[in-house]
Structure 1
Amino acid sequence: MPLTMSSTNAQNLSLSLCTILDSFGYSKEQIELRSKEMDYSLQKIEITANSFFKYSLLPELTYVSAGSTGEGIRLSDSDIDYMNAFQDIICVDEGFENSVCVVLESDRTSTAPGYTKIVLISNLDSFDLRTSSMIEKYMYLQIMSKYRTQSGKKYISSEQFKGITLDAMNLFGLKIFGKCSGPAFQPNDDLKVQIDSVISIYFYGGNYLNKWTNRSRNHAWPTSEVVNEVSQMEGYIVPIGDKQSDMQAYEWRICYTTAEKRLVSSLSDTQLKAYVLLKIMAKTLLKPRCNFLTSYVVKNVIFWVMEMSDSCELSPSHLVNLIQKAIFFIKHCVINNHLPNYMIPERNLLRGDVFGKDKVAIISFLSDCLEEGGSILLKVPKLYHCVALSISKPDLFPVFRKWRDETERILCLLTECIYDFSVVNLVEQNPSVDGLFNSLPRRCMSDNKTVVAFEKLFIHVVPDLWSLECSGTTEEDIYQIFLERLKLLKIL
């Protein structure tokens, strides 16, 4: 293809990419299905975990879906992200005594935008002595209040918080989590799963959200209804400090995870496709040259681009133009050494990341990407092969989309059956820890609803089961065929 594309070619490529993304599970309908399924699964896990550990010293946690998994746009090779928020612990701008929750106060003096130090306001006199769980949480935070200022304030250490919480979560010899990466806990290598679990505390500081709510917007997204809804949502503080601060070990980062998830859910079908395409492109082409371009940065870029786009730019035929606009925005931010966080614009997501020769090389590379126009997307091998296939076999995609979407819906039904059965059994039977993980799959398959859902999935994925059996194919080989076909759900 030529280095630059005509308007007609860009529109044709846009429509072709829309068809491809629809066929491989990235229609708005399927994205919403996965997002709701993740929320449902985490609710069941929350009930199970809190019931299982209710007699231990572990505090109860609320499970919050996060990242691309919670948004329903997780790519095939991405991690699964979620947050745990401590119940009955809150951080506010101005602390107050309270008998029903442990109260922390935010102290943002001498911290970079988007970060805060926290002080324990509650004391033992605040609680009824019969509320042992509240006292445990108070003591849990008290032992981490190590740094005392000249004014007498004692800051809670984010580093100690991570260490002590990690030890607590690995009680009973389970050893699920083995290391930390930033604010996230990651599982031991032998578990063979890609999960980031972030422990957080609810934050109800109003300053940042008020600024976000009241700033001027000139286009259709986000709508006033969504802005109003987001303005009333909670924030979170997570245990990671500003890497350029001398007080890093005592600082916490402020984030608005549920607000960002709500913003993603408010994106139109075309906007969501632009988000998915930019994620695919960033991971394959851009990040090797632009190390700063994490999935979180990509999301912030999409938010800014969509807020700055007129409604006429958001049609399916303009999909390629939206990607070009996003690349131009990234280049502009690199030139100015400032990529503002969407919820907290004062927080610079490029702070200290791009400078010197690297900056010059990145600007040159992004300029080349813009020069190539929409054809740059075809340098992503998966997208190139899909576009080629859509040209050579256009009738294949509608058939595949129908099969794939129905397979995913049945799989979600099966997942719900498994979680429903698991919660009832774990809460009522309270099995021992040693036998928990080994016995669960076998016990789930004794449940009639689970069996029916699995059979429905198997027949849908392997409709040629009868002919395979008649041809002498073994049960083991048929099961392998079933697994290989399921992998088609995650081509992109």
Structure 2
Amino acid sequence: MALSTLNRSSRVETGIQRMSESVFVVLCEILGTSQQVAIRRETVDITEMLDRRVTPTDRHIAMVSGSRREGFRLKGSDVDWMFWPNNHRVIMDMSQSEYYNNTAQKALILSDGSESPPGFTLLLLLTPTICSKTVQSACVKMNGRVYISSSIHRQLTCSAVFSNSTVHGPCGSGAIGVQEYDTAFCFVCDFWPPSASLWIDRCHSWPGPEVVNDIVRSGCHFVAIGHPFGPHENEEWRFSYSQAEYKLVYSMNHSQFLTYGLLKLFLKEVINQQSEETNKLLCSYHMKTTVFWAIQQNTQPHWCPQNLLAGFWVCFKLLLKWVYKGICPNFFIPQNNLFLTKVHGSAQNRLFLQLHELYKKGLACLLQSPSIRSHLIDVLYHPRLFICVDEKLIAPEIITDVELFLAILESMRNQHLADLYHCMKCLITVQHLIASPLTECQIIKLQTHTADNFKNIAFILKNMQINSSDNKHTYIADQMSLHMLKLAATFGFLSDMLYIAMYYYKTLRYREAISVIEMSKVKLAQPYVMSMSHEDIERYTEAVGGQSWSTKLRLAVAFDIELSTAICFISEIIPEQQSVRQNKGGALYIPVFVMLHFLEFLCYRHIDTALSQAALDELQVLVHHNQGLYTRDMRRGISWEILGICQQITGDLQAALYSYQQSLITQGPRSKIKTATQKKIQDIMEITAQ
């Protein structure tokens, strides 16, 4: 009997291990392998490191936070940003002011938590005369002292990044298309708060000493929201440990990270589907707090693919216990109860009963999750099924490559350098960073960033020489620009060759431009070339598989042409650039094949009329019939716009009018060229009406 029970117990344990492995695999597919997650994090890290070193003192530092910073790329998740003034600092006590010798450059703010609940504080402005206008406008007087009001500051900064944002907690929230966002304007403190000092002593098993020291050295932030039951709700600020939290998530092993991700999915797909009454009580932050405590309390000694579900169950039981007690202790300041305002009274009871019903089902409650249900059923019906947890087989080489290229592209779109001084400062900063320990992914990011700088500098130099009569200096500047563009094409993307063609066209060297365009045509036509809308896995792997990321970028990756709105590249698209700039956009994006035929048309106009018409015909076919293959849906608007520009140049106003109208129709919610399109439609209609 004992042997039979032991065998049955062993079979059950083996079954759970197989289910854990199956869930591990599907979570790697949904959330990413450890290498994919590392790429996301490392790219954001090096981008912010670069940004912080080149951001002027009087500007704001930006930091990606939330789940995106932690390495998640879940559909439907919002993008969280934190901004703080680079020349303002919060100190915890007056003695710390000595660390800022040049106080004329730093506005100092004192954290005064003497009358606030745990996790909250008042911010006393020590240097009213040198703070920003926004801070001055947010000041209130209490007991003869000047404090920064969180509620006023929140209202003033709510729509500072995106217009029409609405206040949500400490953030300005809204959506651009389907992408939701949160922007929080806050203040930074270079010191670890005394109220969280006990957290340091608590870190015996996790996180390790290096992580703890790094977190403490990095300090904290203050976001604009007060405690709802505090004495100064409208003036108080909440301690934010966003920076510490993403470093804690970074320190997790991949099984722990996937457990955190599974809890997020379980919240969204199961817990929040129980009833409308309770689907707003718990949030992703509660799941993260649960994982932090579970790992630190060492209740699950081994976090690996084989016991991923055991780790999930430990966290779920801890969450259930917290809901029962109505207490979710903040990881850094346990006295700060995260359930205080929502999970209490009858709502708490309803939520507990719902969670308890799920608990009684055991791990079978996960069958209610659409994302993993089928994978669990496969294991249940095929108990001897072999499950491979080798991440290299779960995500082939091309999947990892795409992750890197998209991460680089995303980070580039947040950097639009148009000032020569700023560009040069970036190049010097890159030179310094290259000497520090970097991952291969970060080196590639710096490489593409440098190529981006070279492209911008080349056109800036050319624009500076427009009215110059000094032939010698004009020639030197021209050769420098060409050299930088060729360097950019050498270690940038394959599509970067078109910037050379653009430069030749701008400097009236049409035959040289055509030569580059023809060469680009041949290279871009290769079946293995990866673009934003097309990839052939077999041919890509055959052609560049196993080679360095740098080689792959140069030979096989073509992205949209990105044109900073503050730099004149070619005069024909200045109205579109101006429109983007007026609508707070940083760059104009044109599909690479649209740009190729556009340049070809422009150059041949000065060489061969028949070939110019042929280029226009090719562009027309591309825009009319190749949607989705060479031009993505989100770029349909600019593609029709470019076609209209070409038709207008040839004098075919009716065709141009139709193209502009199609541009207006197909421009998505993120498009910022609408102003230019409407003006062109109006101009043509006025001409034809005469």
User: TM-score of the superposition, structure 2-length normalised?
Assistant: 0.56
* 2:193 aligned residue (206, 211, 216): 206
Mean CA deviation greater in 281-290 or 262-271: 281-290
Query: Are the aligned partners of 1:38 and 1:69 in contact in 2 as well (CA < 8 Å)?
Result: no
Matched, 1:251 2:236: yes
Does 2:207 align with 1:215? no
Secondary structure of the structure 1 residue equivalent to 2:111 = strand
Aligned residues with identical type, % of pairs: 21
SS of 2:627 mapped into structure 1: helix
Task: After superposition, give the CA deviation of every residue in 1:417-472 in whole Å (9 maximum; x if it has no partner).
Answer: 66536666778859xxxxxxxxxxxxx9xx74344489434697235899xxxxxx
Q: Which residue, 126, 130, 146 being the options, matches 2:140? A: 146
Contact 1:23/1:404 (<8 A) preserved? no
- Comparing 178-187 and 59-68, the one that deviates more: 178-187
Helix, strand or coil for the counterpart of 2:218?
Answer: coil
Measured in 2, the distance between the counterparts of 1:386 and 1:426 equals 49
Give the Cα separation in 2 of the matches to 1:157 and 1:237: 12
How far residue 94 of structure 1 moved from its aligned partner, in angstroms, is 1.9
Evaluate the alpha carbon distance shift between residue 33 and residue 216 of structure 1 in structure 2; reply closer, same or farther with a 3 A threshold.
closer
Which AA in structure 2 matches 1:408?
E
> Contact 2:44–2:411 (CA<8 Å) still a contact in 1?
no
Q: Distance in 2 between matches of 1:386 and 1:285?
A: 16
Alpha-carbon contact 1:240-1:249 (below 8 Å) kept: yes
Q: 1:13 — aligned with what?
A: 19
Q: CA deviation at 1:306?
A: 0.8
The aligned amino acid for 1:476 is Q
Task: Give the aligned partner of residue 179 of structure 1.
Answer: 166
Per the TM alignment, residue 28 of structure 1 is displaced from its structure 2 partner at its CA by: 2.0
Q: CA deviation at 1:248?
A: 1.2
Residue 163 of structure 1 corresponds to 155
Match of 1:476 among 610, 614, 627: 627
Give secondary structure in 2 for the equivalent of 1:109: coil
Letter in 1 for 2:404: R
Distance 1:322 1:311 in 2: 6
CA contact (8 A) 1:144 1:156 kept: yes
> Are residues 401 and 460 of structure 1, via their aligned partners in 2, closer, same or farther at CA, if it must alter by over 3 Å?
farther
Q: 1:377-392 to 2 correspondence within 5 Å?
A: 377-387=366-376
Cα distance in 1 between the residues matched to 2:22 and 2:62: 38
For each residue in 1:86-142, what CA deviation from the matched residue of structure 2 results, as whole angstroms up to 9, or x when unmatched?
Answer: 112111122448333111111112211111111111254xxxxxxxxxx3x355423
2:478 matched to 1:327? no
Structure 1 residue runs of 5 or longer lacking an equivalent are 125-134, 431-443, 467-472, 484-492
Alpha-carbon spacing, 1:246–1:7, altered in 2? closer, same or farther (3 Å): same
What is the correspondence of 1:306-317 to structure 2 with a 5 Å cutoff?
Answer: 306-309=295-298, 312-317=301-306
Per the normalisation by structure 1, the TM-score is 0.77
Report the Cα distance in structure 2 between the residues aligned to 1:465 and 1:178, rounded to whole angstroms. Answer: 45
Distance 1:115 1:19 in 2: 41
Per the alignment, do residues 477 and 143 of structure 1 end up closer, same or farther by CA in structure 2, a change over 3 Å counting?
A: closer
Give the greater-gyration-radius structure (CA). 2
Q: Taking structure 1 as reference, are residues 425 and 256 closer, same or farther at Cα in structure 2, changes over 3 Å only?
A: farther
Deviation at 1:477, TM superposition (A): 4.8
State the structure with bigger RCO (CA 8 A, min sep 6), 1 or 2: 1
Q: 1:105 to 1:46 in 2, by over 3 A?
A: closer
Report whether the alignment pairs 1:75 with 2:74: yes
Encode CA deviations 1:35-88: one digit per residue, 9 max, x unaligned.
12233455677789x67xx9xxxx411111211100102311101112112112
Quickly say closer, same or farther: Cα 1:144–1:410, change in 2 above 3 A: closer
Pairwise CA distance, 1:285: 1.1
List gaps (5 residues or longer) in structure 2. Answer: 1-10, 416-448, 462-484, 497-523, 541-623, 635-690
Whole-Å Cα distance in 1 between the matches of residues 408 and 388 of structure 2?
A: 29
* Matching of residues 447-486 of structure 1 within 5 Å: 448=489, 449-452=492-495, 455-457=529-531, 461-463=535-537, 475-479=626-630
Alpha-carbon spacing, 1:141–1:356, altered in 2? closer, same or farther (3 Å): closer
Q: Which secondary structure does the structure 2 equivalent of 1:20 belong to?
A: helix
Alpha-carbon separation, structure 1, partners of 2:185 and 2:388: 47
Residues 144 and 161, structure 1, Cα contact 8 Å, conserved in 2 = yes
For residue 39 of structure 1, the aligned residue among 42, 45, 65 is: 45
Number of residues paired by the alignment? 433
Alignment correspondent of 2:603:
none
Matched, 1:304 2:290: no
Please name the residue that 1:436 is paired with.
none
Q: Tell me the amino acid that sits aligned with residue 143 of structure 1.
A: S
The reply on whether 1:118 has 2:113 as its aligned counterpart is no
